[in-house]
Amino acid sequence: PDLFAPERRNSIGFDLHHTPTLDAVDKAREAFQEHQWNATRLLATDAAPLATAPVTNPSTPEDNPGTVAPASATDAEVAMASATPWTAPAAERATILNAAADLYEAHHGELFALLAREAGKSLPDCVAELREAVDFLRYYAANIPDAEPAGTFTCISPWNFPLAIFSGQIAAALAVGNAVLAKPAEQTPLIAHRAVQLLHEAGVPRDVLQLLPGGGELGARLTSDPRISGVAFTGSTATALKIRAAMAHNLRPGAPLIAETGGLNAMIVDSTALPEQAVQSIIESAFQSAGQRCSALRCLYLQEDIADDVLTMLMGAMDALQVGDPWHISTDCGPVIDEIAHRGIADHIAVARADGHVLKEMATPEQGTFIAPTLIKVSGIGDLEREIFGPVLHVARFKAQDLDRVIDDINATGYGLTFGLHTRIDDRVQHVTDAIHAGNIYVNRNQIGAIVGSQPFGGEGLSGTGPKAGGPNYMSRFCAPDRQSTND
């Protein structure tokens, strides 16, 4: 393939180490530091205003970035009845999606302010998220398959990538020519609303792309109606299973569910690894975005011979992490998304503390839903009963002769999203990566931040159905089934 072809070019984003760039980005976002946004449903036709509720800033309880008016059951009905596939030719759809990508970039100041104030994202996270969103739009625009659209797709997204995942699902569905009903996570309606406004401004017709802010009940309604042809879902494994059951009862047989779900992600560091490289990778994988990435490292396996040295370095590196308001450029670790998430993570740490298993804790700001990076000792990944979606890293030790048992334990979780390996033995790279069941495997680097187009992202087992997002096969599931190869 031509590595420099336009469809392979990724957004260059903003280099925050370049002071003039950082100053310009800071200024662009400052204009929105006190801005108020209002999220409401965006349907094919205008509808009467609805009752609103305030949206909160997870790091600063006294800051309300705006209000949301959740869509009603009637709105869902209206949206499903008026959803219209996008009949414009593929080249025109691509031009409009590319125009939307340009608009996203042009509005970076506003989007960064929204991501910080509504989702608690640090500035480096904001830059990475905008790049990914733009990459999805351009990548799908450049790779539209020659096929019919499935019909109407419901796209349901999580709060942890409220711009990138939200836009990626929609872009793939739209590129193929589907009508889209987009239901963002209830925690992040403002970003979704602004994104859909920009997509409309770029030229996506309003009856083709409709926005319905709301929670799980609305999501259930939009995934269990026979007028829906398929569902793209990213979120927890538990919700994916509910959606699958609802679809099986109500939708036509074979209606696609593209589910990208949770993980219990491990990393193995053996005694030949470069400790500095491993520690940097561990810090980024476990604590960047306050651990609120589906790809984040949850269970670190250190080979016994080097475990003490690596842990000493790791704890030193943790001391240098700044936990606080994500608006500040020096912040490494912002808040977790809301009080419910905070309680769940804090309870998990409290149990470990009572058992004497906490290896390291740090201070947190008094206000806001902060959890500081925490290390917890475990005997193995089997001790983790569930995905802890925050900056909590579990650490186990293993002996060289037990490597295959460790691999078996990791596979036995049933999840298979990301996996990291640090070693300087080539044969071991081959052996471990052959044996591990995970969608995305990273060697001698961190295990987060897959790049659209070059590192298609998605898991296996309990972590997702495939095909991988940002890869060549993703859009095939948004197409109508090939009539010759099915009994439709």
The footprint of ligand NAD (CB under 6 A) covers 156-161, 165, 183, 185-186, 215-216, 219-220, 223, 234-236, 239, 242-243, 260-263, 294, 387, 389, 417, 459, 464
| Dihedral sign, Cα of residue 348, residue 350, residue 351, residue 352 | positive
Q: Distance between CA atoms of 266 and 174, rounded to whole angstroms?
A: 35
Smallest gap from Cβ 161 to ligand NAD, in A, equals 6
Q: Which is closer to ligand NAD, CB of 160 or CB of 303?
A: 160
Q: Which residue in the shown chain puts its C-beta closest to ligand NAD?
A: 219
The residues that bridge with 209 in the sheet, in sequence order, are: 180
- Closest listed residue to residue 182, CA positions, set 226, 129, 223: 223
Least distance between ligand NAD and beta carbon 471 (Å):
12
Residue 448 · residue 420 · CB < 8 Å:
no
Q: Is-catalytic flag, 260?
A: yes
Give the nearest distance from C-beta 286 to ligand NAD in angstroms.
14
Q: Which is nearer to ligand NAD, 259 or 406 (CB)?
A: 259
Helices 164-176 and 189-202, axial angle in degrees (round to 10): 40
| C-alpha distance from residue 100 to each of 38, 290, 432, 444 (Å) | 21, 29, 42, 36
Of 32 and 370, which CB lies nearer to ligand NAD in the complex structure?
A: 370
- Cα distance between residue 258 and residue 219, in whole Å: 15
Place of tokens 């994916």: 240
Cis peptide before 70 (omega within 30 of 0): no
Q: Which is nearer to ligand NAD, 25 or 345 (CB)?
A: 345
Q: What is the 3-state secondary structure (H, E, C) of 359-374?
A: EECCCCCCCCCCCCCE
Minimum Å gap between C-beta 219 and ligand NAD is: 2
Nearer to ligand NAD, 116 or 222 (CB): 222
Catalytic residue among 129, 132, 260, 284: 260
Q: 95 — phi, psi (to 5°)? A: -60, -40
Q: Residue 148 in contact with residue 117, Cβ under 8 Å?
A: no
Per-residue DSSP letters for 60-98? -TT---EEE----HHHHHHHHHH-----S-HHHHHHHHH
Smallest gap from residue 299 Cβ to ligand NAD (A)? 14
Instruction: Measure the CA–CA gap between 196 and 166, rounded to whole angstroms.
Output: 10
The one-character DSSP state at 459 is: -
Q: How far is the CB of 86 from ligand NAD (least distance, A)?
A: 23
**Nearer Cβ to ligand NAD (177/184):** 184
Residue 284 bears catalytic tag: no
CB of 95 to ligand NAD, least distance (A): 28
Nearer to ligand NAD by Cβ, of 122 and 187: the residue is 187
Active-site annotation holder among 110, 186, 284, 294:
294
| 16 token code pair | 């925050």
Residues forming the active site: 260, 294
